[in-house]
Amino acid sequence: MSSRKNTLSNPIFFILLFISTILVSQEAFHNFGNVQIHANGQVGFHMDLVNDGTFNQNVGFTGFYNQNSLTVSGTSRPVFFDMEIDVLDDLFLEVPVGVTNFQEFTNGKVFTPRDQINVSLDYINDAPFLGENDDRHVDGYASITGQLNFTFPIGDDFRHRPISIENQAANNTARAAYFFENPNFPNFFSESFDTNNFEDLLFGISIFEFWDLDGDTPTRVTLTWDDNSNIPTLVDTLADLRVVGWDNSLEQWVNLGNVGTTGNLDRGEIISEIILPDNYTIITFGSSDKILDGDLEIFTAVSPNGDGFNDTFIIQGLIKFPDNEVFIYNRWGVLVYQQKEYHEVQNTPKGFRGVSDGRATISKDEELPVGTYYYVLNIKGEKDRAGYIYVNR
C-alpha cells in the first residue's frame, strides 16, 4: 500500500462546519465534541491529535504524517478504520488508539508508556497490520480483541520481537509488550524477578529479555528469538529450551514447556504448553534440567533442600547399566565426588547431594557452594557421557 498523505484541503471550511466540536491550531487538532470520518473519507494528520470527545465511529482512512514526531493525547480513545503511520521520529500515544480494519507501518515506531499498560495500540475485530520490522513496530503495549490467532507487532528500541497467542485468548482482549532488559533489574515493574530462583525442573533463566503478556484465557504462547537473545548461553540444543514464567503465587520461575521449536540457536520460535497468561507476571526463555541421552534421562540440577525433589543428582535408566562410575568436578577441574555403581533412586545414600566426598583440596563432607559443576559418567563398554549440573540450595 502506498502512502496516502491526505490532509484537509480546506481547513477554514472544516473549522466553520464543526466549530462547536473542533479547534485546529498550528500545534494540534483538538476534538472536544462528536466527529466521524465517513466511508471513503480520507484524513491525514500532520499535527498532534488531542481527543477529548467522541471520535470512535470512523469508517474511512486516517494517516499520521510528519518528518518529526507526533502525539495522540486527550481523555478518550480515538478508534480508526484504516490507519497508516508514517512519522519519521515516531508516533507517541498518551491515550489508547484503536484500529478496526487495517493498519500499516510505513515509517517510525509507535511508542506507548510502558508504566501504563492500558495505553496501547489496540487491534479490534482481528484488524491486521503490515510493514512491521526492527524499525517499525509498537515500542510498548499492543492489544488484540478478536477471534483469530494473533501475533503482536511489538519490540523494544530497534528490536522487533513478536509474541503470538491462539485465537481463544483474543476473545476477551489480550495485551503484550516486549522488554530488552534483565529481569533482575526491570525498569517498569515494582518488583524484580530473580533469575536464580527457579523450580527444580529448570536449569537457568535468560537475563537478556522478557515479555509481559496479559490475558484471562488459556492459550499456547509462541516466543521468538534472534542473535541478541544469546540462546547459546542457555542451551546447546533447542530440545532443552523452555518457555518459563514468573509465577505470581510461588514467586519463582516455573517451566511452561516446549511443545515445538523452529529455527536454530541464533533465530527461531518456541511454543509453550497451554498456560493462563495472568498467572505469570512476565515470561521469557529458560533451560530444562534434564538431557535425554539414549536410554538415559540425566537431570542436570541438584537442589539439596530436603523437599524430595532433585535432592540428589538423578540419572534415570542406570539400572540397565550397573557397571558404572560417576565423577563430578568443580569449575577448576577438581574432583569433588566419585561413586561406583551409581543408582537412579532419588534418595539413595550414594547419590550426589552437593557435598564433597573428600577429594583433592575439598574437605570431606563439606557442603559445596552454589554453582555449575561437571559430571563424567563412565559405563563399561560404552563411550563416556559428560555434561554440566547446577547445584542450587
User: Tell me: the pLDDT tens digits for 317-336?
Assistant: 888 888 999 999 887 888 99
Tell me: pLDDT of 16 over 50. Answer: no
Least trusted range by pLDDT, from 167-181, 189-203, 210-224, 342-356 = 342-356
Q: Predicted confidence band at 151 (pLDDT cuts at 50, 70, 90)? A: very high
In tens, the pLDDT along 28-44 reads: 999 999 999 999 899 99
- The angle subtended at Cα 288 by Cα 284 and Cα 291, nearest 5°, is 150
Alpha-carbon distances, residue 91 vs 22, 69, 204, 281 (angstroms):
21, 6, 37, 27
C-alpha cell at 330: 568443580
> What is the rounded distance in angstroms from the CA atom of residue 389 to the CA atom of residue 315?
11
pLDDT at position 301: 77
Kind of pairing, strands 121-124 and 91-93?
unpaired
**Alpha-carbon 249 to chain mean position:** 19
Least trusted range by pLDDT, from 1-10, 279-288, 343-352 = 1-10
Model-level pTM? 0.74
**Alpha-carbon 156 to chain mean position:** 11
Tell me: pLDDT of 12 over 50. Answer: no
Q: Which helix (H) or strand (E) holds 246?
A: strand 241-247
Instruction: Note whether 322 and 297 are within 8 A (CB).
Output: no
Which residue is listed with cell 559428560?
386
pLDDT at position 362: 54
Which residue is listed with cell 514447556?
257
Q: Predicted confidence band at 113 (pLDDT cuts at 50, 70, 90)? A: very high
- SS3 per-residue string spanning 177-239: EEECCCCCCCCCCCCCCCCCCECCCEEEECCCCEEEEECCCCECEEEEECHHHCHHHCCCCHH
Secondary structure (3-state) at 176: strand
Tell me: pLDDT of 81 over 90. Answer: yes
> What is the rounded distance in angstroms from the CA atom of residue 157 to the CA atom of residue 161?
10
Tell me: pLDDT of 364 over 50. Answer: yes
Mean pLDDT of 108-123: 97
User: Is the CATH number 3.40.630 carried by domain 290-391?
Assistant: no
> What is the rounded distance in angstroms from the CA atom of residue 261 to the CA atom of residue 239?
8
Q: Predicted confidence band at 363 (pLDDT cuts at 50, 70, 90)? A: low
Tell me: pLDDT of 232 over 80. Answer: yes
List alpha helices for the chain, DSSP H.
11-17
